[in-house]
Structure 1
Amino acid sequence: MMNYFRQAVVKGDFLITAEIMPPKGANPDRMLTLAKLLKGRVHAVNVTDGSRSVLRMSSIAASTLLLQQGIEPICQMTCRDRNIIALQSDLMGAQALGIRNILALTGDPVHAGDQKGARAVFELESVRLLNLIEHLNAGTDASGNRLSDGHLDIFPGAAVDPQLKSWSSVQRRFERKLMAGAQFFQSQMIVDFDRLEMFMSQLALDAGKPIIAGIFLLKSAQNADFINRHVPGVHIPDEIIQRLASAVDPLRIGIEIVVEQIAMAKQYCQGIHLMAVRREELIPEILEQAGILPIEHMKNCHKLSA
């Protein structure tokens, strides 16, 4: 069973992941076409679970489709839409389908999405979901009952946002997720690299778990302005917006900015997570410009140096 991502974490490799959204409908062709472009360029493809509460195909179904193409997924699982029974059932189903990497998330509020009549569940939040995974991995359910048909072997991760205004909140949430068993951390979109350095040096350096910095491709000044208005906790600096606004080709400048941000993230973190919403086909080019080798090439280098 594939688990190259876990192996890379254990070896201490610099981790490369990228995000893909499941289809809004039953046809997965576009998602699979984009994911195939990432094969050999990333350690795993992160599959969103109703990001921004917008209706899309199940992240478990989409992750299974990726596995069938030989692409390792990190399957996001949110607490927004499921009670504790459904969460356990889905985790068992994910395991049976070959999915091992789960990113445990609380989930975005439903009012942010496109299903205005939906009711949120939120019986658990991300820390309690991590605790639940720990129980299932140990062979018991949430009520302490033994799993008669085998324990799980989920590799759990969590989100972290070093840019929260309250530093005590950043510290408390990070430490609680560490205690709950998170084995890797993916950050929210990073725009304040001074704050990222502070987080790494003061909180994460001795934690022993990799921090994967979220890097977002800005396609235009309008795109950056939309994020500033609609994504809580993110403030894209005016100089970046002006740089995009004055560009003849804003997308090219957006790629330049991402490459620069990757270089900064490499100074502090153990990996990068690329988000190029609706332009995922550009991720291989971005990695090339950033000087990041294909994963297969890196594997060969490890063999030669062994």
Structure 2
Amino acid sequence: MIDINKDRLITLETTPPKLPTIEPMIEKIKKSEAYKYIDGFSTTDCPLSKLKYNSIIAAYKLQKNFKKPVIATITMRDRNKIALQSDLLGANDLDVTNILAITGDPASMSDQPNTKAVVEGNSTLLLDIIRAFNNGMDYSGKEFKIKPKPITPFAVSNSFAKNFSSIEKKMYKKVKHYAKGIITQPVFDEDIANKLISIRDKIRFEFKDTREFDLIFGFFPITKLKTAQFLKSHVPGIYVPDEWIEKLIKAHKISEDEEYKVGLDLSKTLFEKLQKIHPKIHIMTANRFEIVKELF
């Protein structure tokens, strides 16, 4: 189980492949030595509604291979209450007890023809189901003959908004539903990181001793101009500083190697600053695991 109360927590996101095995991904992690620098992993659940290997089984295999805890993502998009609880029971038996609850990307984005979403609620419903499991019963209130192992629930948050009160309201709601870890979208600015910490502190004060939760900064190392421009223009809830764009434009005009060098330098500097502000960080690399080693 991931201990959200640790002074330092570094996790690494993995996206299982569209294959009947995750062995190639495991070998890639081993070759990169990324596992040596982190405290745990996460597995995504068919991001962008694209078909991928199962997130829970992937989490089990990563835990077995690397002896580190894994947060398995479960989306609301693909499951009703029966399927959600069935998956939680199976995950529990496999010792996959860190669960990231998300609503999920729209089914309309899927690579599978005529895909329809199966949505009975947003991520707070799954948080409520996890709460019931942690009390030894299913969502209908019926007690299990064997109580499930404790589940640590995680949720997500945007890292930027024109009005940060909207982030506060959504984060408050998820903590109210007993999320213990809130993983943000990637943070690219120190001031934004400090604003998010202020929101965390305010919510903690409002709940006083009735909730146990902490924030985990999302971190995405940028090494290409097109990635920075895409995140800035097309991904809601993320802020990429103009300074980053300008420096990457200049580097891009020189060479691909210079572009990578400048991007990595910006990312590494930010990573060091974020660790000083709050050393609980979730690294997202789009499975470019080799870059983890370069950050430390």
Q: In the alignment, what sits opposite 1:283?
A: 292
Q: Which residue of 2 aligns with 1:150?
A: 147
- For 2:234 and 2:46, locate their aligned partners in 1 and report how far apart those are by CA, in whole Å: 16
**Cα deviation digits, residues 22-64 of structure 1 (max 9, x gap):** 0111132221023332323211111111112221111011111
Report the CA distance shift for 1:165/1:132 in structure 2 as closer, same or farther (over 3 A).
farther
**For residues 205 and 255 of structure 1, what CA distance do their matches in structure 2 show?**
33
Work out whether residues 78 and 118 of structure 2, in 8 Å CA contact, stay in contact via their aligned partners in 1: yes
Indicate whether 1:261 and 2:270 are aligned. Answer: yes
Residue pair 2:228, 2:245 contacting (<8 A) in 1 also: yes
Give the Cα–Cα distance (whole angstroms) in 1 for the partners of residues 266 and 288 of structure 2. Answer: 15
- Percent sequence identity over aligned pairs: 32
Match of 1:126 among 116, 123, 127: 123
Aligned to 1:271: 280
Q: Does 1:162 align with 2:156?
A: no
- The answer on whether the counterparts of 1:220 and 1:245 sit within 8 Å (CA) in structure 2 is no
Question: 1:230, 1:134 → 2: CA distance?
Answer: 34
Deviation at 1:88, TM superposition (A): 0.4
Shift of 1:268: 3.0
* Equivalent residues, number: 281
TM superposition shift of 1:114:
2.3
Q: Report what 1:297 is aligned to.
A: none
Q: Note closer, same or farther for the CA distance 1:71–1:266 as it changes in structure 2 (3 Å cut).
A: closer
Q: 1:236 Cα shift?
A: 2.1
What's the counterpart of residue 180 of structure 1? Answer: 177
1:105 deviation in Å? 1.0
- The match for 2:186 among 168, 178, 189 is 189
Q: Does 1:213 align with 2:217?
A: yes
2:37 pairs, out of 31, 38, 41, with 41
Alignment match of 2:12 (pick from 18, 26, 34): 18
Q: Which residue of 2 aligns with 1:237?
A: 241
Shift of 1:205: 5.8
1:226 lines up with 2:226 in the alignment:
no
Question: Is contact 1:193-1:264 (8 Å) kept?
Answer: yes
User: Secondary structure of 2:36's match?
Assistant: coil
The structural deviation recorded for 1:145 is 1.0
Q: 1:263 to 1:206 in 2, by over 3 A?
A: farther
What is the CA distance between 1:281 and its match in structure 2? 1.5
CA distance in 2, matches of 1:268, 1:122: 37
TM-score of the two chains, using structure 2 as the length reference: 0.88
Q: Which shifted more, 21-30 or 244-253?
A: 244-253
**171-180 or 263-272, larger mean C-alpha shift:** 263-272
Aligned match of 1:60: 56
Deviation sequence 1:261-289 (CA, Å, 0-9, x none): 11232243241111111421221221x2x
1:84 maps to what in 2? 81
1:215-244 superposed Cα distances (whole Å, 9 cap, x missing partner): 112231112222233322224233212212
Shift in CA distance, 91/24, structure 1 to aligned 2, threshold 3 Å: same
Distance in 1 between residues matched to 2:27 and 2:242, nearest whole Å: 35
Which has the larger displacement, 242-251 or 121-130? Answer: 242-251
Deviation of residue 173 (structure 1)? 1.3
Give the alignment's Cα RMSD to 1 decimal. Answer: 1.9
Runs of 4+ in structure 1 deviating by more than 4 angstroms, as ranges, are none
The normalised TM-score by structure 1 is 0.85
Letter of the 2:152 partner, please give it.
F
Show structure 1 runs of 5+ residues with no match. Answer: 289-306
Give the partner amino acid of 1:281: E
Distance 1:236 1:113, change over 3 A: farther
Deviation at 1:94, TM superposition (A): 0.4
Q: Deviations over 1:141-162 (max 9, x none)?
A: 1111111232341111111223
Aligned residue number for residue 136 of structure 1? 133
Paired with 1:263 and 1:28, the residues of 2 have a C-alpha distance of 31
Cα deviation, residue 101, structure 1: 0.9
Distance in 1 (CA, whole Å) between partners of 2:92 and 2:175 is 22
